Amino acid sequence: MHNRFKDLALSNNKQVDNEDWIVVVNNSTKNKHGKDRLEALSINTNKYIKYTMVVSEYDLINYLKEQFFIDYAVKKKIPGSVENLFVNYLIGTTRNFYKAAIESNADSFFGLIKNSR
């Protein structure tokens, strides 16, 4: 893995307008597990990391998961009418970013949709 982390001095009122970057809090990388987790999510969403103190780690993880699953829904050609439900379901059920886990949760979603008709 290459280094996707870059230092950035931002004041709380500045915005990052480049969509290729994610802003994270500095304490996200206090330990190796936290850094590895952010790096994996960064790679999965094809975004780089910048540091600031304006967002919580929880919000960052949810944002990265949402972006990943939106891209996944587009790749799988999920209809727009179902995409929001699909993305939110996967955000809530996926704990590990392994292909098998994601596909299993996607199959589970479609099973629920099929059974509800």
Tell the residue number behind the tokens 């919000």, with chain if given: 59
Q: Are 23 and 14 in contact (CB under 8 A)?
A: no
Identify the pLDDT of residue 30: 63
Q: Are 106 and 88 in contact (CB under 8 A)?
A: no
Q: Are 63 and 23 in contact (CB under 8 A)?
A: no
pLDDT tens per residue, range 26-51: 555 566 777 777 777 777 777 766 65
In 52-97, where does DSSP find H-type helix? 57-75, 80-93
Identify the pLDDT of residue 32: 73
Tell the residue number behind the tokens 């209809």, with chain if given: 79
Q: Is 39 in a helix, a strand, or coil?
A: helix
Q: Is the pLDDT of residue 5 over 50?
A: no
Q: Which residue has the higher pLDDT, 86 or 43?
A: 86
Q: Supply the mean pLDDT for the chain.
A: 73
Identify the pLDDT of residue 117: 67
pLDDT tens per residue, range 64-84: 888 899 999 999 999 888 999
CA-derived radius of gyration, the chain: 16
Q: What pTM was computed for the model? A: 0.53
- Look at residues 40, 87, 32 and name the one whose alpha carbon lies nearest to residue 61: 40
Q: Is the pLDDT of residue 86 over 70?
A: yes
Q: Is the pLDDT of residue 106 over 70?
A: yes
Measured in degrees and rounded to the nearest 5, phi and psi for residue 61 equal -60, -45
